[in-house]
Structure 1
Amino acid sequence: MTQGTDDRLADELGDLQESGPIDFLVIELPTDRATGDKAFPHLVDLVDRGIIRVLDLVVVRREDDGSVVGLGLEELDDGSTELAVFAGARSGLLDGDDLDEAASAVEPGTTAVVLVYENVWAAPFATALRRNGAQLVASGRIPVQALLASLDATEPVD
């Protein structure tokens, strides 16, 4: 990272010792229907309630030939959301290689939203752990589809 990136990141995050965990999502949207009309109002709500803080929100399209093209956030906004609040949400955490890697996770011909966010709700807990010398050594997510499949497998057969 360059000094400018370090400064921008420091401005965005403040004191890292006081930050909550930082996560990322890569969301695949069909390019012909890539709007934020149903999901993004929930993202705005999470930010408004102080649950998360968006550090980066970047839109890319993986073309049919596999090439990656950056898109403007306005290409997802059909007027039904307040996505303009995320315009310029670039902390410096993501570089071109990160965006290429994120785009490689989605199918050709689709649009991807790359979202990096701080879990503000967990900051007091994480800060207390760090002050006591603890550190997070692993984390993960269980996809809802896997949970549902597991529950279906445990249901008794009639």
Structure 2
Amino acid sequence: MTGPVEILVLTFPEPQVPAAVVEGVAELVDQGTITVLDLLFVAAQDDGDVRVVEFDEDLDRFGLARLTVRGDALLSADDLETIRDGMPPGSSALVAVYEHTWARRVSDAVRAAGGELALHVRIPAADVDAAYAAATVA
């Protein structure tokens, strides 16, 4: 009954998530492409303090009110520690656990057939761009 679930960490050099990013994610939610299961906003203060804002707090103050979140608590303290460690002062991160809602039917059919996802590889965008550029030149 669930499509593939992933964690996405988007980082920004400023203390707020750009509105265009929020709109892009909200559009995917509105279209039923993804379901946001858990959402955190992480802000590294200039003094080195790191603040974590959970979805049930005032997300409007951080420009995130447009997002719809199911509200599952799927991120662990270890996940947050890893994210915090890589954040320079004054930066922020939007951390989302999301389901590929579009894939539910296929996932259910695979499981019903006794199958399983055997391999899932994310290809970095830079590698895809380089492959397309190389193919265009050839």
Normalising to structure 1: TM-score of the pair? 0.70
Unpaired runs of at least 5, structure 2: none
- Name 1:48's counterpart in structure 2: 30
- Name 1:22's counterpart in structure 2: 5
Rounded Cα–Cα distance in structure 1 between residues aligned with 2:92 and 2:5: 23
Rounded Cα–Cα distance in structure 1 between residues aligned with 2:22 and 2:89: 23
Rounded Cα–Cα distance in structure 1 between residues aligned with 2:125 and 2:84: 22
Asked if 1:151 is matched to 2:137, the reply is: no
- Name 1:62's counterpart in structure 2: 44
- Name 1:9's counterpart in structure 2: none
Q: Trace 1:77-156 onto structure 2 (pairs within 5 A).
A: 77=63, 82-83=66-67, 85-86=68-69, 89-156=70-137
Rounded Cα–Cα distance in structure 2 between residues aligned with 1:67 and 1:57: 20
Q: Trace 1:25-40 onto structure 2 (pairs within 5 A).
A: 25-32=8-15, 34-40=16-22
Question: How much identity, in percent, do the aligned residues show?
Answer: 33
Is the contact made by 1:30 and 1:110 (CA closer than 8 Å) also made in structure 2? yes
- Name 1:13's counterpart in structure 2: none
Shift of residue 114, structure 1, vs aligned partner: 0.5
Unpaired runs of at least 5, structure 1: 1-17
Is the contact made by 2:43 and 2:92 (CA closer than 8 Å) also made in structure 1? yes
What RMSD over aligned residues (CA atoms) do the two structures have, in Å?
Answer: 2.6
Query: What letter matches 1:95 in structure 2?
Result: S
SS of residue in 1 equivalent to 2:3 = coil
- Name 1:4's counterpart in structure 2: none
Query: What letter matches 1:101 in structure 2?
Result: T
Rounded Cα–Cα distance in structure 2 between residues aligned with 1:138 and 1:148: 22
Is the contact made by 1:19 and 1:118 (CA closer than 8 Å) also made in structure 2? yes
